[in-house]
């Protein structure tokens, strides 16, 4: 490593030139990486709802649909509007009441179930179903939604999952650059105050920024990433890798006190930083790798991107940043100043009152666990989007005018007799919350032979293998009512066709609840287990991994339990990933202090003095690291209108601060109390120590 460090110092100009040149292919890769805005596509591909989606595309050439509400237009104008929508690319069919009857026929003469399906005379509103030949979140579907809105010029309200995904895309694309600006600005302010140079934070941010571009650019090889990953990657990578830059700078300053040769000082600093950062980064990477064990593959998406980001952050810290510091050394020196943060003088207080702190630690576990187990989680991410979005307005119109909140799709065998299908439809209509059934037999009934059904209508709802029906529901997605409704509908469908399927947003979300509940247990187990093993090898100790993980888990339980006491709910993805991220990224604080404690204790100091010295030596670094992480995430959490992004950032910001205080207060107490156990279950400590 020493020779490599000298090589980095020697080739600093070349490294910086290459680093800037690499931004070009990275930027190209970034702009060619597709972004997925539909989280339901990350469900396991072998579950029935996802298999059904594939069948829908393969058999009917339809992967998505939207309910379009029109108010205050005469039927002849609605018919023209329908024709305009049918001309949009990737729209395969628009189903309205003129699909089964001529608009010249008065609505009073139509069968009640057909009339109620499409019209609400009291609200002067009508509804049509628009079918697309592409999937819910396909780029072509989103383009079609935008085109429909443009062509109809505000005459209709386009609702449904595809419309929500389209608006989420637009909102995310507008906000993501602002996230980065907020994170960079707040981090720069914090670092300028806590570091001893006004300009050095800019080089920190520039080197990390380049690593972020490399990371996001290399995602092109993954094909696509989720909008959640895209929005969080830059902010999260900035927050968790800032420590490495701070370590390098402090190490460089320490080396300058021992030698006047800046090149030699930097080479030594690179060697020292790499050694310390490797252990720190491994725990962070392990936390993100644990997400890859989720069957809900959004975890795999976020885990790979962030593990890759931490790795690139380490590489940038020991190559790009040293090159910048050496090349711009004079500018850095001109902007030097004394750090504006006060010196912490609480080490003696903590060591003196360690028993009281330990008792509080035990007592606080009770409300922390109580709140943690009762924090409310929501699964319908659409419900927290701004109410001004077009799709949200449209969904509200659908509810107000037709008492509809979601639509299910039923797939059954096409060979099923009209009599059986009609009986099944009758049973489905009796299920609580079902508003209407839109299908071939629902249109024409069992009395009309299928051979006489218009081919245009028949081809859109039936082929040689399957027939399709749309079931509208008054219940909201992810509600207990709609989940019970889906269970009952599945029972009815299976009575008539064992291979029949219920698909759509609500059934997918019900599967999401089941899948992610198991994922939560898996990810928690893997992250704790992997980090436990890493700490075990780092300290060659059996007891220290248990103590350190317990301390950080305490901070996680407080963080995740607080929403219960503040009467707020969090997105389901937060309940899975936050604990892993907080454990992986903030256990470094505990490792830093524990490592210094080990050195002090091994030198022959008594346990209290060793803990006090370790506390004093590490508290400043822990504070700067936690505040930097807080700054990178807190501002984004306040700004974002996308609730899942806002909630995740707020939880990460709060988690960093809670972990900081926990390590500063609780960990020293644990080290003093369990000093004997630690010494006799760890290698590297002297066999005989002074006890005090």
292-298-301 Cα angle (round to 5):
60
Q: Express each pLDDT in 441-490 by its tens digit.
A: 655 555 545 554 555 556 667 778 888 888 989 999 889 999 999 999 99
pLDDT at position 453: 53
How large a percentage of the chain has pLDDT more than 70?
93
Chosen CATH of 341-374+540-692 out of 1.20.1640.10, 3.55.40.20, 3.40.50.10710, 3.20.20.70: 1.20.1640.10
Could you give the residue range(s) of every CATH 1.20.1640.10 domain in the chain? 1-32+195-338, 341-374+540-692
Task: Output 452 or 290, whichever has higher pLDDT.
Answer: 290
How many whole angstroms separate alpha carbon 480 and alpha carbon 513?
Answer: 11
How large a percentage of the chain has pLDDT more than 90?
35
Give the pair of three-digit tokens for residue 683. Answer: 């290698």
pLDDT at position 330: 86
Over residues 252-278, the mean pLDDT reads 85
**Which residue do the tokens 């469900």 mark?**
43
pLDDT at position 370: 95
CA 500, 381, 236, 203 dihedral sign is positive
Confidence of residue 113 (pLDDT cuts 50, 70, 90): low
**Would you state the CATH architecture of domain 398-505?**
2-Layer Sandwich (3.30)
Flag whether pLDDT at 192 surpasses 50.
yes
Over residues 656-675, the mean pLDDT reads 93
- Give the SS3 label for residue 465: coil
How many whole angstroms separate alpha carbon 453 and alpha carbon 407?
Answer: 25
Q: Express each pLDDT in 641-653 by its tens digit.
A: 888 899 999 999 9
Which one, of 601, 672, 655, lies nearest residue 350 by Cα?
672
Confidence of residue 20 (pLDDT cuts 50, 70, 90): very high
Helices (H), 497-606: 505-539, 543-565, 572-602
Other C-beta atoms within 10 Å of 383: how many?
Answer: 16
Other C-beta atoms within 10 Å of 380: how many?
Answer: 18
Give the C-alpha distances (Å, rounded to integers) separating 90 from 61, 132, 142, 315, 505: 10, 5, 10, 45, 21
Cβ contact 417:441 at 8 Å: no
Of 94-103, 357-366, 393-402, which gets the smallest average pLDDT?
94-103
Flag whether pLDDT at 688 surpasses 50.
no
* Contacts of residue 45, Cβ cutoff 8 Å, sequence gap at least 6: 51
Burial (0-12, 13-18, 19+ Cβ within 10 Å), 177: exposed
Average pLDDT of the residues of the chain: 86
DSSP structure string for 158-170:
E-SHHHHHHHHHH
Which one, of 76, 80, 117, 123, lies nearest residue 100 by Cα?
117
Flag whether pLDDT at 687 surpasses 50.
no
Flag whether pLDDT at 294 surpasses 50.
yes
Give exposure, 441-477, as e/b (b: 16+ Cβ within 10 Å).
bbbbeeeeeeeebeeebbebbbeeebbbbbbbbbbbb
pLDDT at position 107: 56
Flag whether pLDDT at 432 surpasses 60.
yes
pLDDT at position 452: 47
612: Cα within 13 Å, side-chain hemisphere: 14
pLDDT at position 103: 54
Confidence of residue 108 (pLDDT cuts 50, 70, 90): low
Q: Report DSSP state, residue 452.
A: G
How many whole angstroms separate alpha carbon 145 and alpha carbon 142?
Answer: 5
Give φ, ψ of 103 to 5 degrees: -70, -10
What are the helix and strand counts (H, E) for the chain? 26, 13
How many whole angstroms separate alpha carbon 99 and alpha carbon 457?
Answer: 7
Flag whether pLDDT at 667 surpasses 90.
yes
Could you give the residue range(s) of every CATH 3.30.70 domain in the chain? 52-167, 398-505
How many whole angstroms separate alpha carbon 641 and alpha carbon 387?
Answer: 10
How many whole angstroms separate alpha carbon 449 and alpha carbon 441?
Answer: 10
Confidence of residue 220 (pLDDT cuts 50, 70, 90): very high
Give the pair of three-digit tokens for residue 526. Answer: 């893997």
pLDDT at position 304: 94
Over residues 508-532, the mean pLDDT reads 88
pLDDT at position 345: 81
Cβ contact 643:563 at 8 Å: no
Give 3-state DSSP helix, strand, coil % of the chain, rounded to 5.
Answer: 70, 10, 20
Q: Which of 88-102, 134-148, 357-371 has the highest mean pLDDT?
A: 357-371
Which one, of 553, 528, 544, lies nearest residue 670 by Cα?
544
Cβ contact 125:71 at 8 Å: yes
Give the C-alpha distances (Å, rounded to integers) separating 268 from 8, 163, 242: 11, 56, 20
pLDDT at position 495: 93
Pairing of strands 156-158, 64-71: antiparallel
Give the pair of three-digit tokens for residue 586. Answer: 């903030």
pLDDT at position 114: 62
Chain length of the chain:
692
How many whole angstroms separate alpha carbon 492 and alpha carbon 276?
Answer: 61
Over residues 515-526, the mean pLDDT reads 86
Which strand (E) or helix (H) includes residue 192? helix 161-194
pLDDT at position 101: 57
pLDDT at position 211: 95
Cβ contact 82:128 at 8 Å: yes
Of 119-128, 222-231, 299-308, which gets the smallest average pLDDT?
119-128
DSSP structure string for 336-396:
B----SPPP--HHHHHHTHHHHHHHHHHHHHHHHHHHHH--EE--GGGGS-TTSHHHHHHH
Give the C-alpha distances (Å, rounded to integers) separating 553 from 271, 448, 558, 561, 648: 32, 66, 9, 12, 18
Confidence of residue 312 (pLDDT cuts 50, 70, 90): very high
Give the C-alpha distances (Å, rounded to integers) separating 179 from 528, 631, 652: 30, 12, 15
**Which residue do the tokens 């001529």 mark?**
102
Which one, of 397, 450, 402, 381, lies nearest residue 646 by Cα?
381
Give the pair of three-digit tokens for residue 94. Answer: 């628009």
Q: At what angle do helices 227-256 and 607-639 cross, to 10 degrees?
A: 140
Chosen CATH of 52-167 out of 1.10.150, 2.60.40, 3.30.70, 3.90.550: 3.30.70
Task: Output 210 or 72, whichever has higher pLDDT.
Answer: 210
Flag whether pLDDT at 372 surpasses 50.
yes
Confidence of residue 216 (pLDDT cuts 50, 70, 90): very high
Q: Report DSSP state, residue 451.
A: G
288: Cα within 13 Å, side-chain hemisphere: 21
Terminal CA-to-CA distance of the chain, rounded, Å?
Answer: 40
**Which residue do the tokens 């003469």 mark?**
109
What is the Cα gyration radius of the chain? 30
pLDDT at position 64: 84
Over residues 408-415, the mean pLDDT reads 89
**Distance between alpha carbon 640 and the CA centroid of its chain, in Å?**
14
**Which residue do the tokens 């590489």 mark?**
315
**Distance between alpha carbon 549 and the CA centroid of its chain, in Å?**
24
Q: Express each pLDDT in 550-605 by its tens digit.
A: 999 999 999 999 999 999 999 988 888 888 888 888 888 888 888 889 888 888 88
pLDDT at position 344: 77
Is domain 1-32+195-338 annotated with CATH 1.20.1640.10? yes
Cβ contact 601:615 at 8 Å: no
Q: Express each pLDDT in 552-565 by its tens digit.
A: 999 999 999 999 99
How many whole angstroms separate alpha carbon 490 and alpha carbon 376?
Answer: 27
Give the C-alpha distances (Å, rounded to integers) separating 11 from 5, 406, 542: 10, 61, 43
- Give the SS3 label for residue 412: strand
């Amino acid at each position: 490593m020493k020779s490599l460090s000298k090589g980095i110092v020697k080739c600093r100009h070349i490294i910086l030139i290459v680093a800037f040149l690499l931004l070009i292919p990275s930027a190209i890769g970034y702009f060619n990486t597709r972004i997925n805005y539909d989280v339901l596509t990350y469900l396991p591909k072998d579950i029935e709802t996802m298999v059904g989606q594939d069948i829908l595309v393969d058999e009917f050439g339809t992967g998505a649909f939207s309910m379009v509400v029109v108010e205050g237009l005469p039927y002849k104008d609605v018919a023209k509007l329908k024709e305009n929508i049918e001309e949009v690319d990737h729209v395969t069919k628009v189903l309205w009441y003129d699909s089964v009857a001529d608009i010249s026929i008065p609505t009073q003469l139509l069968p009640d179930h057909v009339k109620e399906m499409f019209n609400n005379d009291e609200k002067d509103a009508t509804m049509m179903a628009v079918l697309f030949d592409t999937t819910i979140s396909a780029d072509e579907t989103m383009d079609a939604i935008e085109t429909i809105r443009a062509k109809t010029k505000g005459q209709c309200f386009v609702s449904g999952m595809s419309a929500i995904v389209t608006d989420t895309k637009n909102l995310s694309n507008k906000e993501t650059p602002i996230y980065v600006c907020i994170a960079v600005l707040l981090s720069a302010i914090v670092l300028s105050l806590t570091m001893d140079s006004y300009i050095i934070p800019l080089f920190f941010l520039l080197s990390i920024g380049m690593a972020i571009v490399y990371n996001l650019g290399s995602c092109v090889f993954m094909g696509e990433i989720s909008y959640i990953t895209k929005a969080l990657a830059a902010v999260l990578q900035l927050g968790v890798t800032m420590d490495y830059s701070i370590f390098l700078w402090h190490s460089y300053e320490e080396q300058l006190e021992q030698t006047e040769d800046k090149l030699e000082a930097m080479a030594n600093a690179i060697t020292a930083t790499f050694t310390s950062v490797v252990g720190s980064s491994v725990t962070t990477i392990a936390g993100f790798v644990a997400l890859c064990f989720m069957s809900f593959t959004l975890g795999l998406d976020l885990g790979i991107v962030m593990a890759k980001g931490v790795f690139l952050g380490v590489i940038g810290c020991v190559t790009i940043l040293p090159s910048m510091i050496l090349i711009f050394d004079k500018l850095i020196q001109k902007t030097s100043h004394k750090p504006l943060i006060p010196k912490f003088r609480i080490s003696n207080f903590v060591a003196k009152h360690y028993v009281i702190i330990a008792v509080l630690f035990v007592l606080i576990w009770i409300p922390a666990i109580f709140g943690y187990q009762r924090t409310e989680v929501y699964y319908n991410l659409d419900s927290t989007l701004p109410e001004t979005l077009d799709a949200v307005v449209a969904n509200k119109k659908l509810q107000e005018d037709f008492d509809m909140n979601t639509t299910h799709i039923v797939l059954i065998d096409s060979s099923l007799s009209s009599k059986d299908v009609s009986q099944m439809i009758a049973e489905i209509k009796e299920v609580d919350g079902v508003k209407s059934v839109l299908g071939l037999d629902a249109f024409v009934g069992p009395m009309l032979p299928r051979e006489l059904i218009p081919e245009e209508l028949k081809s859109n709802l039936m082929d040689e293998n399957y027939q399709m029906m749309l079931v509208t529901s008054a219940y909201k997605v992810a509600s207990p009512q709609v989940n019970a409704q889906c269970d009952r509908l599945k029972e009815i469908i299976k009575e008539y066709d064992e291979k029949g399927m219920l698909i759509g947003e609500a059934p997918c979300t019900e599967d999401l609840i089941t899948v992610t509940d198991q994922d939560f247990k898996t990810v928690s187990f893997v992250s704790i287990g992997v980090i436990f093993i890493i700490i075990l090898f780092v300290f060659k100790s059996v007891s220290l991994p248990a103590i350190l993980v317990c301390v950080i888990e305490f901070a996680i339980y407080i963080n995740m339990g607080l929403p219960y006491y503040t009467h707020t709910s969090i997105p389901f993805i937060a309940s899975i990933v936050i604990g892993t991220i907080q454990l992986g990224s903030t256990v470094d604080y505990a490792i830093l202090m524990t490592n210094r404690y080990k050195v002090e204790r091994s030198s022959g100091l008594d346990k209290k003095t060793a803990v006090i010295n370790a506390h004093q030596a590490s508290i400043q670094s822990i504070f700067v690291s936690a505040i930097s992480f807080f700054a990178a995430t807190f501002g984004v959490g306040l700004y974002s209108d996308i609730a899942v992004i806002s909630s995740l950032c707020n939880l990460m910001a709060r988690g960093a601060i809670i972990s900081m205080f926990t390590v500063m207060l609780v960990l020293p107490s644990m080290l003093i109390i369990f000093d004997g156990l630690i010494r006799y279950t760890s290698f590297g400590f002297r066999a005989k120590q002074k006890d005090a």
